[in-house]
Structure 1
Amino acid sequence: MKEEGLTLKQGMEACSSVEDPFNTDYRMMMTLGHGHFSEVKLAFHVPTVTCVAVKLLRNKKKYNSIFNSEISVMKSMNHPNIIKLFHVIEKEEITYLVMEHASEGELLRRILERGSLPESEAEMIFTQVVHAVNYCHENQVVHRDIKATNILMDCRGNAKLIDFSLSVKVTPGQKLRGFCGTLPYCAPELFARGEYDPYPIDMWCLGILLFLMVAGHFPFQSKSFSGMRNEVTSGNFTIPHYVSISIFNIILELLIINPCRRPTIKDIMRRPMIRASEARSPPPSTPASQAPRALALSGP
Structure 2
Amino acid sequence: MDCTIFAWGWMLVSSISIRLSSSGFKSSAIPRGERSQNCPRPSVLPHRQQTRSTPTAAHRASERAQLSVTEKMAERQQQKHEGRVKIGHYILGDTLGVGTFGKVKIGQHQLTGHKVAVKILNRQKIRSLDVVGKIKREIQNLKLFRHPHIIKLYQVISTPTDFFMVMEYVSGGELFDYICKNGRVEDSEACRLFQQIISAVDYCHRHMVVHRDLKPENVLLDANKNAKIADFGLSNMMSDGEFLRTSCGSPNYAAPEVISGRLYAGPEVDIWSCGVILYALLCGTLPFDDEHVPTLFKKIRGGVFYIPEHLNRSVASLLMLMLQVDPLKRATIKDIREHEWFKKDLPGYLFPEDPSYDATVLDEEAVREVCEKFECTESEVVSSLYSGDPQDQLAVAYHLIIDNRRIMTQASEFYLASSPPQGSFIEEGMLLPPGVKPHPERMPPLLADSPKSRCPLDALNTTRPKPLAVKKAKWHLGIRSQSRPYDIMAEVYRAMKQLSFDWKVVNPYHLRVRRKNPVTGNLVKMSLQLYQVDNRSYLLDFKSIDDDIMEAVGFKSGSSTPQRSGSTAGFHRPRLSIDSASPAIDLPQLSSSLPGSLSGSSPLLAARQGSHTMDFFEMCASLITTLAR
Q: TM-score, normalised by structure 2?
A: 0.40
**Aligned match of 1:178 in 235, 240, 247?**
240
Deviation at residue 280 of structure 1 after TM alignment: 9.4
1:121 partner letter:
E
Q: In the alignment, is the contact (CA less than 8 A) between 1:211 and 1:239 conserved in 2? A: no
Residue 202 of structure 1: SS of its match in structure 2? helix
Residue 76 of structure 1: SS of its match in structure 2? coil
Trace 1:66-77 onto structure 2 (pairs within 5 A).
67-77=135-145
Structure of greater Rg: 2
Which residue does the alignment assign to 1:166?
235
Deviation per residue, 1:184-240 (Å, 9 max, x gap): 001111122224351110010011000011111111111233222111111121011
Trace 1:104-115 onto structure 2 (pairs within 5 A).
104-115=172-183
CA distance in structure 1 between the partners assigned to 2:345 and 2:96 by the alignment:
30
The answer on 1:203 being equivalent to 2:275 is no
Q: In the alignment, is the contact (CA less than 8 A) between 2:212 and 2:265 conserved in 1? A: no
Change (3 A) 1:177 1:22: closer
Change (3 A) 1:66 1:225: farther
Q: In the alignment, is the contact (CA less than 8 A) between 1:84 and 1:288 conserved in 2? A: no
Q: In the alignment, is the contact (CA less than 8 A) between 2:279 and 2:286 conserved in 1? A: yes
Change (3 A) 1:200 1:91: same
Deviates more, 1:244-253 or 1:213-222: 244-253
Q: In the alignment, is the contact (CA less than 8 A) between 1:57 and 1:67 conserved in 2? A: no
Deviation at residue 42 of structure 1 after TM alignment: 1.1
Q: In the alignment, is the contact (CA less than 8 A) between 1:70 and 1:166 conserved in 2? A: no
Q: In the alignment, is the contact (CA less than 8 A) between 2:156 and 2:391 conserved in 1? A: no
Deviation per residue, 1:231-275 (Å, 9 max, x gap): 111112101110122221111110011110001112212222222
More helix by share: 2
Q: In the alignment, is the contact (CA less than 8 A) between 1:79 and 1:288 conserved in 2? A: no
CA distance in structure 1 between the partners assigned to 2:292 and 2:134 by the alignment:
27
Which residue does the alignment assign to 1:62?
128
Which residue does the alignment assign to 1:232?
300
Q: In the alignment, is the contact (CA less than 8 A) between 1:26 and 1:45 conserved in 2? A: yes
The answer on 1:35 being equivalent to 2:99 is yes
Residue 278 of structure 1: SS of its match in structure 2? coil
**Aligned match of 1:298 in 377, 392, 399?**
392
Deviation at residue 22 of structure 1 after TM alignment: 3.0
CA distance in structure 1 between the partners assigned to 2:311 and 2:104 by the alignment:
35
Higher relative contact order (CA 8 A, sep 6+): 1
The answer on 1:130 being equivalent to 2:194 is no
2:119 partner letter:
K
CA distance in structure 1 between the partners assigned to 2:265 and 2:115 by the alignment:
39
Q: Give the % identical residues.
A: 31
CA distance in structure 2 between the partners assigned to 1:22 and 1:288 by the alignment:
32
CA distance in structure 2 between the partners assigned to 1:260 and 1:103 by the alignment:
38
Which residue does the alignment assign to 1:26?
90
2:186 partner letter:
P
1:91 partner letter:
T
Deviation at residue 49 of structure 1 after TM alignment: 1.2
CA distance in structure 2 between the partners assigned to 1:288 and 1:219 by the alignment:
39
Residue 344 of structure 2: SS of its match in structure 1? helix
CA distance in structure 2 between the partners assigned to 1:239 and 1:69 by the alignment:
42
- How much is the aligned-residue C-alpha RMSD, in angstroms? 2.9
The answer on 1:221 being equivalent to 2:289 is yes
Which residue does the alignment assign to 2:74?
none
Unaligned runs of 5+ in 2: 1-36, 39-84, 351-356, 375-389, 394-489, 491-629
Q: In the alignment, is the contact (CA less than 8 A) between 2:93 and 2:105 conserved in 1? A: yes
Deviation at residue 46 of structure 1 after TM alignment: 2.2
Q: TM-score, normalised by structure 1?
A: 0.81
Unaligned runs of 5+ in 1: 1-18, 169-175
Change (3 A) 1:22 1:98: same
CA distance in structure 2 between the partners assigned to 1:136 and 1:106 by the alignment:
20
Q: In the alignment, is the contact (CA less than 8 A) between 2:88 and 2:157 conserved in 1? A: no
CA distance in structure 1 between the partners assigned to 2:133 and 2:291 by the alignment:
31
Which residue does the alignment assign to 1:52?
116
CA distance in structure 2 between the partners assigned to 1:69 and 1:217 by the alignment:
37
1:33 partner letter:
G
